[in-house]
Amino acid sequence: MKKVAVLTAGGDCPGLNAVIRAIVHRFHDAGGEVVGLRLGYQGLAERAFLPLPLAAVSGFLTRGGTMLGTSAFDPTREPEGVERCRAALADEGIDAIIAIGGDHTMHISRKLVTEHGLPVVGVPKTIDNDIVGTDWTFGFDTAVHVATEAIDRLRTTAASHDRIIVLEVMGADAGWIAVHAGMAGGADAILIPELSLTVADIAAAIRKRHARGKRFSIVVVAEGALLRRDADDPGAQVLHEGGSGRYHFRRLGGIGEALALALEEELQVDTRAVVLGHVQRGGIPTSTDRILATRYGIAAAECALRGEFGGMVALRGGTYTTVPLADVHGIKTVDPETLRDLELLLV
């Protein structure tokens, strides 16, 4: 194993540069060479290479975003896409690809390995923490940190004005950020795709708070949650579609706005909505994410050095390991134990 190509694909997240840096260090140590691919798999098909000697990654441990750029380019869906990639690997003498990405990138990588025999190692990333096969993804801890700080700040202004403030966080298919930030920030209600809470349920919880003398509340909602007025007539009462409907609804103001409005109507209390958005994805990674990203980078480099392809590096039960890309599909939703604790806290 002499030369490896590294790419980042899908939405960015804090820690991507830390992975690239770790791969460069591990390969340098082993006497190998690393080349970066611009804009994900597009950089392979179009031969957009960026040489990555040690000096190129100096100072990148803490930097957000990705030095390589990112895209959702899928060579298996492009004319001659896979053949262009294969030819680029051969012509450049590249022995392996390390693909850092989310479920879509792992899906592309799985096809490239199993259907086309390309030498790929996967590294999971997403602020959403919803990739099957690994307990944690880097970027998540940073996003939770940002969202928790937002809750802390919203609490003081909500309390000053006797308001309900709804904070909308990312999480298109799973509620990890909402649950962890909500728990860390002491949110009074949390709406996520995994739980079928309604506006009526949240209003009831807030009425109980009011009865205890609390005059303000903080509600956290994941962008992909399903919003219904009550459970009796779910068909007619859908205010916001979860999951794949999210992009359309975000343009219309998002679930946070819809929930704030519904609560204001229900409770006759002044409400505000805050959409945290891409603030959760930018900036420097937390120390936890830097460590996770660095260790994933080293693990992926070592897979490539051993000539082991078709796997995704992962952290399971506190152990760094590898899972077959063939097993990485679907969405990892919030586990039942966490949901149980959440429900106990919100009573």
Structure tokens given for 132 = 């099957």
Restricting to residues 287-316, which ones interact with ligand F6P according to CB under 6 A?
none
First and final CA of the chain: distance in angstroms?
56
Does residue 274 interact with ligand F6P by CB under 6 A? no
Taking CA atoms, 192 is separated from 47, 84, 148, in Å, by: 41, 42, 16
Would the annotation count 335 as a binding residue?
no
Would the annotation count 128 as a binding residue?
yes
Does residue 126 interact with ligand F6P by CB under 6 A? yes
Q: Taking contact as CB under 6 A, which single stretch among the options 168-176, 180-188, 266-274, 299-307 is the one that binds ligand F6P?
A: 168-176
Q: Exposed, middle or buried: residue 59 (CB in 10 Å: 0-12, 13-18, 19+)?
A: exposed
Q: Taking contact as CB under 6 A, which single stretch among the options 42-50, 120-128, 188-196, 267-275 is the one that binds ligand F6P?
A: 120-128
Nearer Cβ to ligand F6P (178/314): 178
Structure tokens given for 281 = 């994805």
Would the annotation count 103 as a binding residue?
yes
CB atoms within 10 A of CB 17: 26
Q: Taking contact as CB under 6 A, which single stretch among the options 57-65, 103-111, 164-172, 302-310 is the one that binds ligand F6P?
A: 164-172
Site string for ligand F6P, 192-231 (x = CB under 6 A): -------------------------------x--------
Q: Exposed, middle or buried: residue 76 (CB in 10 Å: 0-12, 13-18, 19+)?
A: middle
d(CA 276, CA 221): 11
Would the annotation count 4 as a binding residue?
no
Structure tokens given for 307 = 């000539």
Secondary structure letter of residue 10 according to DSSP? S
> Shortest approach of ligand F6P to residue 14 CB, angstroms?
11
Structure tokens given for 19 = 């992975």
Would the annotation count 23 as a binding residue?
no
Nearer Cβ to ligand F6P (143/299): 143
Would the annotation count 280 as a binding residue?
yes
Q: Taking contact as CB under 6 A, which single stretch among the options 122-130, 199-207, 265-273, 312-320 is the one that binds ligand F6P?
A: 122-130
Would the annotation count 127 as a binding residue?
yes
Angle at 329 between CA 287 and CA 69, to 5 degrees: 50
Structure tokens given for 289 = 């994410």
Does residue 123 interact with ligand F6P by CB under 6 A? no
Q: Which of 6, 131, 146, 170 lies at the binding interface for ligand F6P (CB under 6 A)?
A: 170
Question: What is the residue whose two structure tokens read 């859908």?
Answer: 238
Q: Which of 33, 95, 103, 128 lies at the binding interface for ligand F6P (CB under 6 A)?
A: 128
Q: Which of 171, 175, 256, 297 lies at the binding interface for ligand F6P (CB under 6 A)?
A: 171
Amino acid at 89: L
Does residue 11 interact with ligand F6P by CB under 6 A? yes
> Shortest approach of ligand F6P to residue 283 CB, angstroms?
14
The residue annotated as part of the active site, out of 12, 95, 128, 130, is: 128
Task: Please tell me the total number of residues recorded for the chain in this structure.
Answer: 347
Would the annotation count 313 as a binding residue?
no
DSSP strand E in 243-329: where? Answer: 271-275, 311-316, 319-324
Q: Which of 172, 181, 189, 298 lies at the binding interface for ligand F6P (CB under 6 A)?
A: 172
Check if the beta carbon of residue 246 is closer than 8 Å to that of residue 11.
no
Please indicate whether residue 128 is annotated as part of the active site.
yes
Q: At what angle do helices 336-346 and 176-185 cross, to 10 degrees?
A: 40
Nearer Cβ to ligand F6P (33/130): 130
Q: Which of 98, 123, 127, 314 lies at the binding interface for ligand F6P (CB under 6 A)?
A: 127
SS3 category, 206: helix
Q: Catalytic residue positions?
A: 128
* Residue ranges that bind ligand F6P, judged by CB under 6 A: 11, 126-128, 170-172, 223, 246, 281
